[in-house]
Amino acid sequence: MMRTALRWLGEAIAAVLVVVLLYQLWIFAHVLWWIDHNPRSTAFMASGLARQQEKKPDAELRHKWAPYDRISIHLKRAIVAAEDARFLEHEGFDVAGIQKAVEKNLKKGKLVAGGSTISQQLAKNLFLSSERSFIRKGQEAVITLMIEATWSKRRILEVYLNVIEWGNGIYGAEAAANRYYKTSAANLSRDQAARMAAMVPNPRWYESHRSSRTYQRRVALIKRYMGHAQVPR
């Protein structure tokens, strides 16, 4: 009986490992495909659409791809200044940022901060949910390594700017620039770029709270540092 139970346990573990491996290969295949093909949708977009359609069944997302060269240099610098100042220096993970996040999580006794880089945020947006858990963070790390190993920094920033959420049903810089400033991503001014970058941590809330003190402080801080941000050419 014990031998039979152990055999079943071994087979169950082997089956789980095979499923996990196949899932990683499925993700990696997408990562390779997206080196030179633009993602049409992401896990976050699918989740956002489902959320919108709960209230309005015929709801659609606002999203239009903008090539890297057609996105304002001001927005690129603002995003890097706001989200990942060492973007060009690290290989996917900001050790100092992670240490600060770990200290904060230990203090709170739960996962409340991730210290995520742009590459990590992109990995999450493309494949994962917004759930906070150590298992999800582990998968995020694996995907980040895949992306950093196969994509250029320019491609990482291009895809990131085109898929992140910028309000209810609004994804990517082009749709956001049109929604908030009636212009294209290419024509965003320095001030407009800073204001858009300030929304990224909580876009659905900031969409209707752009007069809040927290938002205004973020805009001012981004403006202060965006001129020094280094971005891919």
Nearest 5°: the CA angle 40, 44, 47 is 105
Dihedral sign, CA of 136, 138, 140, 143?
negative
User: What confidence tens digit (pLDDT) does each residue in 95-115 have?
Assistant: 876 666 555 545 554 444 456
pLDDT for position 112: 43
> Cα separation of 184 and 4, whole Å?
65
Residue 184: per-residue pLDDT: 98
Closest to 68 measured CA to CA, from 233, 203, 188, 221: 233
Give the chain's residues under pLDDT 70: 1-2, 97-115
CA neighbours within 13 Å on the CB side: how many for 55? 7
pLDDT of residue 174: 98
pLDDT at position 111: 43
Q: Which amino acid, residue 170?
A: I
Q: Which two tokens stand for residue 150?
A: 């196969």
pLDDT of amino acid 113: 45
Q: Alpha-carbon distance 41 to 24, whole Å?
A: 19
Exposure b/e, 197-218, CB count within 10 A at least 16 = b: bbbbeebbebbeeeeeeebeeb
CA distance 7 to 41: 42
The whole-number pLDDT of residue 99 equals: 65
